[in-house]
Chain A
Amino acid sequence: MAEFVFSNAAREMEVYGYDSVVKSHCRMCHGGCGVLIYTKNGKVAKIAGDPGCPINHGTLCSKGIASHQLAYHPDRLTYPVRRVGPKASGQWEHISWDEALDTIAERILDYKEKFGAESIVMGYGTGRENEAVIYRFANLLGTPNVLTAGHFCYGPRIATSIITCGSNPIVDYENHPKCIMVWGNNLVISNPDCSKGEPFSVSVNKGAKIIAVDPRLTRIAARADVWLQLRPGTDTALALGMLNVIVNEKLYDQEFVNKHVYGWDPFVERVNDYPPDKVEEITWVPRNKIREAARLFASTKPAAIQLGVAIEQQVNCADNNRALMALMGITGNIDVPGGQVLFSTPKIRNVGQFGAHRMLPHEQSLKRVGGDRFRLAGNFAIINPKCVWDAILKEEPYPVKMLFFISSNPVMTRANAKEVYRALEKVEFMAVSDFFLTATAELADIVLPAATWLEMDYIGDFWKRHGYILPRRKVIQVGECRSDHEMLNDLAHRVGQGEYWWDTFEGGLDYILEPMGITWQEFKKLDHIRGEVRYRKYEERGFSTPTKKFELYSTLLENWGYDPLPKFREAPESPVSTPELYKKYPYILITGARSPGFFHTENRQVPWLRELHRDPLVEIHPETAKKECINEGDWVEIESPRGKVRQRAKIFAGIDPRVISAQHAWWFPEKKDPGHGWDESNVNILTDNAYNTCDPAMGATSVRTLLCKIHPEAR
């Protein structure tokens, strides 16, 4: 098979008469892929993958290609606006950047003086490569409250991996794992953090065995050697069951265990609580399949686990991560070629240093909302969203007066959306920076026009753990849009932080690169820089944990008052934990299966991407559909104890008849009223955010597994 055949860029320029081709770094998801941007008459005319980029080898996804439709979208906000009518009235006036930033600065200083800096909550959604700059601003301001997706996305991977083995172990696709266990992840169509779908595909094509753990039949599951179709929310039990087999059949790496793990004996005792027959009862996965998967994973070297966000949006968030890390660890796949590697970043100022966490006064860090309740999260500067809504609605433990959301649409993406909406309606002042007037932005006082990745210079992927950094180069300017980095750099001067910032944000880029002895102007001439690649670093210096070992038994969790070993908790709402409720809501609802083209709430107004999916879909097994009198394409109502929403039925035999799978983050930007249909199909109308339903250590909301009923919409 002829791989990597691509058109010559010079010939492309010649044939189409493009003015320039610029290498850059896409950020339609969290970043990652190298791209070639062709321009004509000062505008982006075509986006293609960069064949020279080690992340994607020239391939791209639908989002990356369609980026210019996003950048030039007619509905884009291209200048700052101030709301002149009531909230959600859609009445705005054009104001200048100076006026917008002065107004925001004035409010910040006023609330800080009257209510303390903690009354100002900064926020972002999923990682958009602006997190370090937002944390820097918040820490220097003195607020410990930065509301992100970090409680239930990526943050848990970072927090649990740091306490377990010092850093996040990344699958080493460059050395081709021979067995890949894909756990609740569909990286070939989703937005994976470090490795992209292309290197995974190459490893699979080279013959890697696949074990897929997923309640839905994905194409990865269909191609898998073993597919474990588990009951949603039972991942920790399944992982502990596999660990039980590996321990009892002595399939683990004895040398690694003897020399490098901490807490082996209590760990063995814990996994002995999860024999395969008991795990079968919990997970619905037949015991023989649990054994088969455990043996295949443990006996194939090197092996790796490709995991993602699905395991994190559960009550077992931290323990799901820790149980999977235990699987990587005891099978000897940590920090080995083709396994899971603790890559080193180049010698730059990393996100933690740039984020200026040490500049937050200790007494302010003690005020982090929910910091005493969700102590793993609190120690990584992450907060649970309900803590913020309670601080606004009930003024507990103190009033939050101001929200500043940057690339975040929490009325769509945070659990219990109705409560989120009430909080945003009540908060005294809210600023938003985004591409469009979203349903969240419609509740703001001031909305700033954010630049897309095509409109900024940045050091791409500098927050990631795969060890690469790549230059993102500004190609165009759209209206008055500014990058979040430039915007905060400017605002910082207006609130008295100027001494820690720069004349323009290029100074910030130089600051990040400074330890390497290069400037942004020098870096942007390069394709990428990679940190030193070394394996089995723990043999020389141990792991970066309190015991210097791979902590199966976490001494930090123990110090913080948690069970130091992973254990399975039943989902807060399930046939087992709430049998009475199950009689009224007789299906398990899972949410958030990814669709190509969308990135959470984004891109539903981008024509090439919306054309891929016109409507929100809910997957229903044919037997269930028949029982509930639902036909393919019907609009159906999905109802939970919190509310109901509508989506269209997709009859799908790849799901258990007891399970329903609804898509997330659906709104309708084509609806021009200020609600933009935020509450019609929004799955977070259905989800819960009560504290006792969240992961006790990480504060993750359990948005992936709940109970529902479903019926055709009344016509």
Chain B
Amino acid sequence: MKTYELTIDHELCWGCKTCEVACKQENRSADGIKLISVSEEEPQIVDGKLDFRYKVIVCRHCDDPPCAAVCPDEAIGKRDDGIVVMDYEICTGCRFCIDACPYDAIAFDEDERIARKCNLCHHRVDQGLIPACADNVCLAHCIHFADSNTDEN
């Protein structure tokens, strides 16, 4: 049984935002709706050095997804392979999931009046393709898609 996961090594991220545009190209989400985004953290002194990192904000496909638990319409479900999928046909736009997500990874589409989030390009994964953001676009090589049972090394 495959269980997929998206791993991001934040130490390596340079903040180039290529993943954001790769996602746009694949999912064509509307202007202002980002299913993946890169944010800049505030510089802080760490071990006597000024430091900051970029943080990639995207659905983590949690083991026990709080967004699915609060959805009154059961529009969000975790598949057997680990991918948490939001069904836009079912979503009624109540926004409970947006509040429940601990990672700020769910957006609200003002035009369609529904929530949007990363579905890990399951339409690609099901066809043997890699999600757009992890398809070797990242010049830092910091985003990887893998079968967590077999691909770790």
Contacts and interface: CB of A to CB of B under 8 A. Distances in A.
A51 B136 CA distance: 8
A652 B137 contact: no
B21 A65 contact: yes
B135 A188 contact: no
Interface in A167-215: 188-189, 196-198, 201-202, 205
B127 A59 contact: no
Contacts of A59: 18, 136-139, 141
B139 A196 contact: yes
A222 interface: yes
A15 B127 contact: yes
Q: Which of A2, A47, A217, A607 has the most CB of B within 10 A?
A: A2
Contacts of B6: none
A653 B51 CA distance: 10
Contact of B136 (A6, A197, A612, A653): A6
A3 B136 CA distance: 8
B5 interface: no
B122 interface: no
Interface residues of A, number: 49
A1 B141 contact: yes
Interface stretch (B24-32, B63-71, B102-110): B24-32
A65 B137 contact: yes
A57 B135 CA distance: 12
A220 B14 CA distance: 8
A611 interface: yes
A188 B16 contact: yes
A47 B139 CA distance: 15
B31 A607 contact: yes
Interface string B51-63: 1111000000000
A12 B129 contact: yes
Contact of A60 (B50, B137, B141, B151): B137
B139 A197 contact: yes
A671 interface: no
B141 A654 contact: no
Given A11-B127, A612-B17, A653-B50, A58 B25 contact: no
A201 B138 CA distance: 10
Contacts of A189: 14-17
Interface in A633-649: none
A47 B145 contact: no
A609 B51 contact: no
9 contacts: A6-B135, A46-B25, A65-B22, A66-B21, A189-B16, A197-B139, A201-B139, A219-B54, A222-B52
Closest 4 CB pairs of A and B: A188-B14, A6-B136, A62-B21, A59-B139
Interface of B: 9, 11-18, 20-22, 24-26, 31-32, 34, 42-44, 49-54, 124, 127-130, 134-141, 144-146, 151, 153
Given A1-B9, A596-B16, A597-B17, 12 more contacts: A5-B134, A8-B128, A11-B128, A48-B137, A60-B18, A62-B20, A65-B24, A65-B25, A205-B12, A220-B14, A607-B31, A608-B25
